[in-house]
Amino acid sequence: MNTTQEIEHLACLIIGSGPAGYTAAIYAARADLKPVVYTGIVPGGQLTQTTEVDNFPGYPNGITGPVMMEDLRAQAERFGTEVRFGYVTKVDFSTSGGVHTVEIDAVKTVTADTVIIATGATAKWLGLPSEEKYNGFGVSACAVCDGFFFKGQDVAIVGAGDTAAEEATYLAKLCKTVHMFVRRDEFRASKAMVNRVLNTPNIVVYFNTETEEILGDGQGVTGVRVIDTKSQESQVIDVTGFFVAIGHKPNTELFQGVLDMDETGYLITQPNVTATNIPGVFACGDVQDHVYRQAITAAGTGCMAALEAERYLASKGE
């Protein structure tokens, strides 16, 4: 840690600026904790890469992800939250007296009585240039978020696990046909989920199939070119939506060896609360939720984390 300058001390530090982080900031600021939010390298989080948000309460006509995050930021700032662009590069939660030390951008050190971690998770992508080009214009990593926009249309989904199977069956209720590409010769999903997929008549499963390119007209997706890895034959399938369901990676590298996490890297919080294994350190949003991964559930846990931070400070008489 850099100790050459005067170290700033905070009552409440929030790491991350998605729905969880900003909601935590709103509640913490209203409790007069004078929270400081460090945005991370993607201010606003995953929602800034989402075009339309139709399932967040309070927006009857829908809202774009970036505008919604600006609204949340403005609301947090209205109550006195200080939002700073910066990236946490190191943490030390072992300090005596319950004060936590955090390094920002490898140059600045702050200490905090409470830390709320809302660093989120990042969707895993195939890595195709065409996937990046049409991300938000027919390409999505969240069927629950965006499936509605493809009602009655033909779509494709790539993935082999429980999430992919669940999202495929969800899409099948909305879409005409769901083309499901499994890259190996079998599913990784549980038997129950596989049976559900195979018993859904409008899901067409392609095994040993890799995506070569997502096709489009410059405005949106028009199809996908895939290759059978056994026969080496390519084919083009007409679709208007392409969903990637190959998993998410929680943004927790910073906390490895410091906070308890599961085998895939999600932070483990105590039952029914957001407290981690370190007193005064709380985790909310997608960084600790691999089940729902919705903006509204992230916001809910952000509220919980702030309320718990306030109670933690009160219990210490601060």
Please answer whether residues 212 and 205 qualify as being in contact, where contact means their C-beta atoms are separated by less than 8 angstroms. no
Exposure pattern of 67-95 as b/e (b: 16+ CB <10 Å)?
ebbbebbeebbebebebeebebeebebee
Quote the CA–CA distance of 82 and 32 in Å, as a whole number: 12
Instruction: State yes or no: is 303 an active-site residue.
Output: no
Of 12, 145, 175, 284, catalytic: 145
Residue 141 DSSP class? S
- Residue 270 main-chain phi, psi, to 5 deg: -70, 155
Instruction: State yes or no: is 146 an active-site residue.
Output: yes
Of 113, 146, 286, 289, catalytic: 146
Instruction: State yes or no: is 142 an active-site residue.
Output: yes
Please answer whether residues 176 and 241 qualify as being in contact, where contact means their C-beta atoms are separated by less than 8 angstroms. no
The amino acid at 229: T
CA distances from 229 to 127, 152, 185, 203, 210 (A): 18, 30, 10, 20, 7
Residue 315: how many other CB atoms lie within 10 Å: 9
Of 12, 142, 175, 303, catalytic: 142
Q: Which residues are catalytic?
A: 142, 145-146
